[in-house]
Amino acid sequence: MKSLKELFSLKGKTAIVTGGAGYLGKAICETLAELGADLYIASRTKEKCVSFAEILMKKYPIKAMGNFLDITNIDSIRENLDACIKKFGHIDILVNDAWSGNKNTFDSITYEDWSYDINVCLNGVFYTIKETVSHLEKRQGIILNIASMYGHIAPDYRMYDGKKYANPPSYGAAKAGVIQLTKYLASFLAEKKIRVNAISPGPFPFKSTQEENQEFINRLSEKNIVGRIGDPDDLKGAVALLCSDASRYMTGQNICVDGGWAVW
């Protein structure tokens, strides 16, 4: 029987984290580094990825690398996979956290905005998984998709005040697609011994929003069961579980880390 320490250990594993230098991505990478995984951190802001990789290597006994990645560009994905294999030799874990979107209401969103958001938030996840599966199959790997509570419930329009703090219809539609894609792939990649799960974060507003709009933050906190917004560290337990052998009998699941928001 394996101990919990053995089940949670990621020593000898390599993880790719898209969007890994972002607000939630940093907590995800920190979790994997604490458990011993080497990290390939990639996003459209290479400097942030490189800088954060250096920070993690100073803090933990791991290897890490940062690079530029555009998940809507197949060539960019392939170049990053090649660079990861060249650096680490293999890929065990893929975390799809990269996201970019335009703030919009239903009235303000344009067709171009909709297409862009869906392309990044849903198509980019599919492209990245499609290109990475052959590497993961060699290691009986793990895929973790970062979805959202708005992939399975609707935003309360009364919470939002104007376009700047709105939740666009494209975001929830894309994240719903990510949740369903997670379930589909859990089934169809099972024969390749690849497990696929998702996390749906609840209200985790950016620091800039917290500083600019305290009234909005108060509304989010008051609506939630635990009475507060999420902190990136709140994701670490679920990430540790789903990226390690501690969840070896779990696949196709979507864990809600939302402070109880969705149970009302």
Report pLDDT for 146: 98
Q: What is the pLDDT of residue 217?
A: 93
| Structure letter (DSSP) for residue 230 | -
181-195 per-position pLDDT tens digit = 999 999 999 999 999
Does pLDDT of 73 surpass 90?
yes
Q: Which pLDDT value is given to residue 117?
A: 96
Whole-number average pLDDT of the chain: 96
Q: What band does 24 get if pLDDT is binned at 50, 70 and 90?
A: very high
Average pLDDT, stretch 249-262?
A: 97
Tell me what pLDDT residue 160 has: 85
Taking residues 220-248, report their average pLDDT. 97
CB atoms closer than 10 angstroms to residue 31: 25
Which residues are catalytically annotated?
Answer: 171
The pLDDT score that the predictor gives to residue 212 is 87
Segments of the chain assigned E as strands? 14-18, 38-43, 64-68, 93-96, 142-146, 195-201, 254-257
Low-confidence winner among 76-80, 170-174, 215-219 (lowest mean pLDDT): 215-219
Phi, psi of 55 (to 5 degrees): -60, -45
Higher pLDDT, 69 or 264: 69
Helix (H/G/I), strand (E/B), else coil: 104 = coil
pTM reported for the whole predicted model? 0.96
pLDDT digits (tens, 9 = 90+) for 137-179: 999 999 999 999 999 999 998 888 776 778 999 999 999 999 9
In this model, does residue 214 exceed pLDDT 80? yes
**Whole-number pLDDT of residue 264:** 82
Residue-wise pLDDT for 84-119, tens only, equals 999 999 999 999 999 888 889 999 999 999 999 999
Phi and psi at residue 67, in whole multiples of 5°? -160, 165
From 3.40.50.720, 1.20.1250.20, 3.90.550.10, 3.40.718.10, which CATH number describes the 4-263 domain?
3.40.50.720
Q: By the 8 A CB rule, do 103 and 162 touch?
A: no
pLDDT at 103 (0 to 100): 87
Every domain of the chain and the residues it spans? 4-263
Going by pLDDT thresholds of 50, 70 and 90, the confidence category of residue 197 is very high
